[in-house]
Amino acid sequence: MNPDDARLLATLIRKERIAHLATLRDGVPMASMTLYLPAPDFSAFYVHVSRLAWHTQDMQRDGHVALSIAETDDRRADPFRLMRVSIRGTASVFSDEDSEIRNAYLAKYPEQAINFTLADFSFWRIEPKDARFIAGFGRIHNVSAEELKRVAG
Amino acid sequence: MNPDDARLLATLIRKERIAHLATLRDGVPMASMTLYLPAPDFSAFYVHVSRLAWHTQDMQRDGHVALSIAETDDRRADPFRLMRVSIRGTASVFSDEDSEIRNAYLAKYPEQAINFTLADFSFWRIEPKDARFIAGFGRIHNVSAEELKRVAG
């Protein structure tokens, strides 16, 4: 990937707050909104979810997931030009013993503090296998997990 | 569903332009951004996609999909309060002979006219099986395809 698009991808991942999480449910694809926190080196993506949420139940059964993150719709004339990235990976439940992830998550989402007092919420860690970044028309990049770390800078 | 939340769901589906489409790829979930057009009665959701796109290739192999639509992130303190809906359904390629769908699509996305001149783009029709609407904290609604049509008003 050229350095300009690499910078755009890093900014997209760090700036946005909303991801749509694809999971397998009853053998077919499901997608639902979640919040996410990227590790500083993009080696992992964390979601803090309730056991009551369908996607959590899905991940408990099958850790194969994908995260889709798009630039916020600014009502530009052509929304097809919004940048977006799909990250495929494997999710596993993550116990935040040292609170580093928790602190970073709360710095990004301070209003989520209440959910850390609820027993049914836990972190899941999604380890990327690869990503597909659409920076613009004809600017499509398939990105390995290793290249994603280089993109993080 | 109560009338207030039904109105919120109809507004969400009609106002937003971006959906994230979950497909099955190599046996595992994939998610990627797309534009969408709801039928006026929410009996179908149309996407106009290129055969070169991964999600199109996926739908050709397996029509089970889900669309995830969220309220645009307005940078509110707690993005977990953004409304969102997941629609599960079956996708099939759709030949727009009478141009009714095409006209509605172009009214919503005028800049997409160029893609109707390209041979590799086609409409896909997603017929909903059900939906799950999260209107706010504790306001979660499982919605049948029939109820979704009533929500359309």
Mind listing the pLDDT tens digit for each residue in A1-16? 999 999 999 999 999 9
Of A17, A29, A68, the CB nearest to B33: A68
Q: What is the pLDDT of residue A59?
A: 98
The pLDDT tens digits of the residues spanning A116-132 come to: 988 899 999 999 999 99
**Interface probe with A: pick from B24, B28, B115, most Cβ of A within 10 Å:** B28
Tokens coding B113? 């006219």
Tokens found for residue B126: 């997603």
- The percent helix, strand, coil of chain B (3-state, each to 5) is 30, 40, 25
| B57 touching A (Cβ < 8 Å) | no
Residue B66's pLDDT band, with cuts at 50, 70 and 90, is: very high
> What average pLDDT does the structure give for chain A?
96
Residue-wise pLDDT tens digits, A126-151: 999 999 999 998 899 999 999 999 99
- Give whole-number Cα distances, B105 to A64, B45, B55, B136, B153, in Å: 33, 11, 19, 29, 20
Q: What is the pLDDT of residue B150?
A: 98
Please say if the pLDDT value at position B106 is more than 90: yes
Give me the percent of chain B exceeding a pLDDT of 90.
92
Q: Which candidate, A137, A122, A131, places its Cα nearest to that of A151?
A: A131
> Is residue B96 predicted with pLDDT exceeding 80?
no
Whole-number pLDDT of residue A71:
98
What is the pTM assigned to this prediction? 0.97
pLDDT attached to residue A92: 98
Amino acid symbol at B128: P
Q: Is B22 on the interface with A (CB under 8 A)?
A: yes
